[in-house]
Structure 1
Amino acid sequence: MIKEFDIYVISDSVGDTAEQVARAAAEQYKNADYEIKKHPYVESRTKIDDILDPIDNRNSIVVYTIVNQETAQYLEDKCQKKGFPFIDIMGPCLSTFTDFIGQEPARESGVIRKLDEDYFKRVEAVEFAVKYDDGKDPRGILKADIVLIGVSRSSKTPLSMYLAHKNYKVVNIPLVKGAKVPDQVYEAPRKKVIGLTIDPSDLIEIRRERIRVLGLDSGVDYVSIDKIIEELDYAEKIMRRVGCPVIDMTKKAVEEAANLIIDIINDLN
């Protein structure tokens, strides 16, 4: 009976899946001690040789997730020559999926790693949108992928968050009459800046609802139609000076507007 052994986890990606399966299995044997030696991102025969050739402990088992058939076969042949038992974690799963779906797998290595990278990019974009929301720090303007400018309640923040989930770093800047527009708005590449406008009658309804929710006085200038028209006129002048594309948010869903923005950005790039 083996008392101690090594588990070599070899993967063309991070190797977490193979490690977790190997550990779960090894923990079932209470009278044996083991050590896991993980080798991620193994995509060549040379790397396999580098890992397996130096091993002189006969009490070793190889657990692997390698989707490239030739590389996986080379690993198995190498294990057989060395006398190591080996376990293919991904192979049986792919085989069953192939029979079920009726098509061959792409066998692309590092797919999960790519998904993880997308996830972290999305998290970074969301954190960026929160940090630079509503003009909190104009220094974010020159770092952003997209800069949204417009009056209050023209959907700047909802758009910023939606676009962040599409991996875009977004800054939104409120245009308030009497308040200085950050210099960075004029310095940013025109292809990054998008103006948002909205019909005055729609905007006043949105603002009234906001006032009601906050429990504030409904007689404030914030919901005055004359003041709203002044604000929109002022914002339009700024947008003309910037020379940016303008999207009318009247009756427009955030998803629809976001797709328009993405199309504009992509066309200009």
Structure 2
Amino acid sequence: MKNLKIFVVSDSVGETGEQVVKAAATQFRPNFDGIIIRRFPHISNDDHIKNIVEIAAMQGAIIVYTLVEKQKRQLMYNLCQQNNIDCIDLLGPIIHLFSNRLEEFPLEEPGIVHKLDDDYFQKVEAIEFAVKYDDGRDPRGILLSDVVLIGVSRTSKTPLSQYLAHKRYKVANVPIVPEVEPPEELFQVDPRKCFGLVISPEKLNVIRKQRLIALGLSDDAIYAKRDRIEREIAHFYKVVEKLGCQVIDVTNKAVEETANDIIERLERLKK
């Protein structure tokens, strides 16, 4: 039984090349018997390529490469030809085809796919965080969050948390109710990342009545009474004063507008 050694060479992590090699290898040796795959990731200069070719020549290896820079692909091909090494360029032909069809030059920037993957997983993690620590259900999330939102009921804390999560911010939100003491974690958090959301009593009265009707309840419940709303907002301001956090009036703001306001304030802190 013949053996086979394959070098997978990449200017990124090399996962793409390795998966293609494994997919082909399993058609001959499902358990990879006698097949050795060695990955060479993050190849950043010509000397790396030359050294790999020298090793491949000594060991009789095949080289499979995923290099986004045309110059490095050409160097690899030329060196393999000079040393009688079998090689396969996985990216070059498809990049060339796309370039012709799109009539554009490629970026030739390694690792873009993984950068996009990282962004995606950060977003998923932030969304899961917002769900887990929504509506004060677990105060432990307050100290783990990038942003903390507080406010009385129906001030858009949950949709705002989700919107910010899609921007990869980990958000916890806490309802402020006169009858319930705020969690102690709220007083331990950096007030600069805590935002109080307030809304006019008139607007909140309308929103709460609509909410009650949508639930099939009477719109004259205490929850929607004007005096109850005013008492909640007064209590909210007392909590805000203790926390020293910023307050944003969301009365006539869309969720996106409030989110952008918060993001701008957070970005200013970094400067």
TM-score bucket of the superposed structures, by smaller chain: 0.7 to 0.9
* Alpha-carbon distance in 2 for matches of 1:212, 1:63: 65
Is residue 236 of structure 1 aligned with residue 237 of structure 2?
yes
Is residue 161 of structure 1 aligned with residue 171 of structure 2?
no
Is residue 78 of structure 1 aligned with residue 106 of structure 2?
no
5 Å-filtered alignment, 1:65-214, equals 65-214=66-215
The RMSD of aligned alpha carbons is 2.9
* Alpha-carbon distance in 1 for matches of 2:71, 2:100: 21
* Alpha-carbon distance in 1 for matches of 2:82, 2:206: 77
Question: What is the CA-CA distance between 1:63 and the residue it aligns to?
Answer: 2.2
| Residue aligned with 1:67, SS | coil
Alignment check: 8 A CA contact 1:94 1:105 kept: yes
Give the residue type in structure 1 aligned to 2:76: L
In the superposition, the TM-score normalised over structure 1's length comes to 0.84
Give the residue type in structure 2 aligned to 1:248: D
* Alpha-carbon distance in 2 for matches of 1:184, 1:27: 54
Equivalence for 2:227: 226
Between 148-157 and 41-50, the greater mean CA deviation after superposition: 41-50
* Alpha-carbon distance in 2 for matches of 1:217, 1:50: 78
Equivalence for 2:12: 13
Alignment check: 8 A CA contact 1:151 1:231 kept: yes
In the superposition, the TM-score normalised over structure 2's length comes to 0.84
Question: What is the CA-CA distance between 1:162 and the residue it aligns to?
Answer: 0.9
- Runs of 5+ consecutive residues of structure 2 not aligned to the other structure: none
* Alpha-carbon distance in 2 for matches of 1:187, 1:26: 56
Give the residue type in structure 1 aligned to 2:178: K
Q: What is the identity percentage for the equivalent residue pairs of Structure 1 and Structure 2?
A: 45
- Runs of 5+ consecutive residues of structure 1 not aligned to the other structure: none
Give the residue type in structure 1 aligned to 2:87: F
Between 251-260 and 4-13, the greater mean CA deviation after superposition: 4-13
5 Å-filtered alignment, 1:21-60, equals 21-22=20-21, 36-45=37-46, 47-48=48-49, 51-55=52-56, 58=60, 60=61
